[in-house]
């Protein structure tokens, strides 16, 4: 199985004014990503508010992304199919294969949680089995799933139980575990860096691919980081990573995912508001948020869209 390379964005699920799916926005999203040298998208993930979407909505979104990606060469669409219900995960995985996804990824069950690596491997096996023609990625994000089983233990328990197991989307701060996974069995698996603010340490350990939400709107910062790292210009790479951290800090201070979704409107791609229980950035806070972003130089480095509406966005 070919490993995923470069930057993979975790896109937002676009909603209209009534809170329903806004499918035409996907065409604008993929144009923005490809225009900023993003190599793929992991759809229906955490950033995409997967837990707030119905099963039918998740399938509709995945199908539209796969259809849109056909207009671009080598743009990967990874469909996230994780669910607290195993049967629903299998349904989503089978659908992803049917509509032409590049790969599938799955969170662990996050309500009733697996008690051991062996149980988790069996859970993943049954999901991967439903899409045998696609690479399967385990989605490790303990801050959301509450499942903190070290990934190296999962890989050791795996053996040959899942023939299409491709690797891991590793969204956690444990660089020790991350490094062990990268080196496991002579770099057998594709370990994708999932923390945007730790891309540089991930590259230093040997990662060749990364998945993240901020690649939607500050891709140029990460391209600069990757190019500097490749050229052995550590100071420039560190400066780019620090720039991303400054922007992420502002985004987190104004609410995280809801604030990030607001950023998309600033750069010209209106993805609507978030669904409850997330809370949107209020109109009263919007100007303050925009000012805080400008103060850290966001509008000098953001991804570019021809539809930008914010005064400083182009």
Using the structure block, give the residue that is written with the tokens 């439903």. Answer: 130
Using the structure block, give the residue that is written with the tokens 């990874």. Answer: 78
What DSSP string describes 72-137? STT-EEEEE---SSHHHHHHHHHHHHHHT-SEEEEPPPSSS--SSHHHHHHHHHHHHHTSTTS-EE
Of residues 138, 139, 172, 217, which has the active-site annotation? 139
Residue 169 catalytic? yes
User: Could you tell me if 172 and 145 are in contact, meaning their C-beta atoms sit under 8 angstroms apart?
Assistant: no
Q: Return the SS3 of 193.
A: strand
Q: Is 62 exposed, middle or buried (0-12, 13-18, 19+ CB in 10 A)?
A: buried
* Cα 269 from chain centroid (whole Å): 18
| Separation CA 166–CA 287 (nearest Å) | 44
Of residues 169, 172, 222, 243, which has the active-site annotation? 169
Residue 111 catalytic? no
Give φ, ψ of 308 to 5 degrees: -60, 135
The catalytic site residues sit at: 139, 169
């Amino acid at each position: 199985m070919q490993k995923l390379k470069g930057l993979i964005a975790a896109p937002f699920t676009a909603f209209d004014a009534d809170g329903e799916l806004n499918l035409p926005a996907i065409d604008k999203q993929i144009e923005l990503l490809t225009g900023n040298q993003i190599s793929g998208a992991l759809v229906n993930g955490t950033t995409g508010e997967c837990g707030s979407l119905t099963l039918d909505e998740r399938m509709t979104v995945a199908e539209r992304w796969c259809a849109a990606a056909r207009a671009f060469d080598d743009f990967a669409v990874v469909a996230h199919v994780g669910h607290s219900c195993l049967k629903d995960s299998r349904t989503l995985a089978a659908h992803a294969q049917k509509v032409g996804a590049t790969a599938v990824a799955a969170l662990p069950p996050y309500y009733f949680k697996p008690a051991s690596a062996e149980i988790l491997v069996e859970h993943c096996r049954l999901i991967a089995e439903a899409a045998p023609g696609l690479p399967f990625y385990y989605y490790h994000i303990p801050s959301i799933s509450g499942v903190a089983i070290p990934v190296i233990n999962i890989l050791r328990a795996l053996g040959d139980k899942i023939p299409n197991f491709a690797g891991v989307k590793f969204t956690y701060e444990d660089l020790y575990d991350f490094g062990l996974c990268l080196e496991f069995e002579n770099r057998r698996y594709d370990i994708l860096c999932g923390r945007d603010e730790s891309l540089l340490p991930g590259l230093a350990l040997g990662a060749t691919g990364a998945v993240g939400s901020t690649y939607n709107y500050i891709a140029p910062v990460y391209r600069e980081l990757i190019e500097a790292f490749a050229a052995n210009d550590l100071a420039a790479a560190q400066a780019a990573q620090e720039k991303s951290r400054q922007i992420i800090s502002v985004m987190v201070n104004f609410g995280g995912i809801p604030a990030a979704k607001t950023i998309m409107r600033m750069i010209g791609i209106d993805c609507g508001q978030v669904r409850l229980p997330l809370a949107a950035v209020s109109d009263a806070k919007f100007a303050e948020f925009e000012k805080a972003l400008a103060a850290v130089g966001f509008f000098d480095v953001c991804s570019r869209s021809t539809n930008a509406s914010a005064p400083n966005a182009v």
